[in-house]
Structures are given as structure tokens and as C-alpha cells.
Amino acid sequence: MSDIREPGTQPGVSVPRQAARDVPPEPSGWVGWVVFAGVMMIIGGIFQAIEGLVGIFDDTYYLVRKGDLLVSVSYTGWGWLHLVVGVVVALAGFALMAGRMWARVIGIVLAGVSAIVNMAFLSAYPIWATIIIAIDVLVIYALAVHGKEMQST
């Protein structure tokens, strides 16, 4: 087994190669993508919760009747779904900002769920749902590609 020297160690001190692989990578400028994803999860979760509250309290606000939606569920049912997904996404965003690995995995899953829910809700609120879908796609990209770098900061 060959030994390598870690940066910052004494010239005569070597570290086994396995231990060098366990050292987290140096943070790069891509950490900003993960911070962006965390902030977007928090903001997007709050917006989705607001969308849910509107569905719960004012079901006449939306453009189409509930029978014209892709999935024919009352706006109260959609409101509760948006409220729960929004709160969980916002909480996962806060955990992601703390560098938690489980929040990265949950964030990817929840952003996918949020995009699917908003795709089904597209006919009722097209501009808002499209914005949330776009944010979800960016969050998935940031967490899947650059999420590991947040752990080392």
C-alpha cells in the first residue's frame, strides 16, 4: 500500500491512501449552487404553502373548475396537499443549509414530487405552477450535481 502526504502535514509524516480518500473535497465556487437550492427550497416551500392556503380558504380563486383539472380533486384537497408539501420542502431547505446529507436526498425527492404536483395543477394556475416547476428543476440539478460540496464547508 503506498502512502501519500496530505497538504499541511510534516514532510516525514505519511497518511495511508484510504484515509486520504475519506477527507472531504475542498469547497469550490459550486457551493453557491447548493446554497441557491436551499434558499429556493425555503422560498418555494413557503410559496407552495401559500398556494395551499389559498386553495383551502378561497376555492373560487383559481381559473378553472375542479372538474377541469388533470386530477379531479377539490381545491380544498389540493390546498392541503400543497400546504403539506410546501412546509416539508421549506424544512428540508433549512436542513440543507445546515449541510445535512439526508436533506440533500429528501430535497431531490421533494423537488420531484413538487414538480409533479404542480404539473397536475398547471391548468388551474399556469404561471405560478410553471415558475415552481422551473425552480424545482434547478433545485434537483444543484443538489444532484453539487450537493456533496456543501458538507465540506
Domain range annotation of the chain: 30-152
Q: What is the pLDDT of residue 126?
A: 84
Q: What is the pLDDT of residue 94?
A: 92
Q: What is the pLDDT of residue 21?
A: 60
What number of residues does the chain have?
153
pTM surpassing 0.95? no
Q: CB atoms < 10 A from the CB of 3, how many?
A: 11
Q: What is the pLDDT of residue 88?
A: 92
Q: What is the pLDDT of residue 17?
A: 55
Q: What is the pLDDT of residue 49?
A: 92
Q: What is the pLDDT of residue 51?
A: 85
Tell me the Ramachandran region of residue 51: left when phi exceeds 0, alpha when psi lies from -120 to 50, beta otherwise.
Answer: alpha
10-residue mean pLDDT profile of the chain (153 residues): values are 54 55 64 85 89 85 69 81 90 87 88 87 82 89 76 54
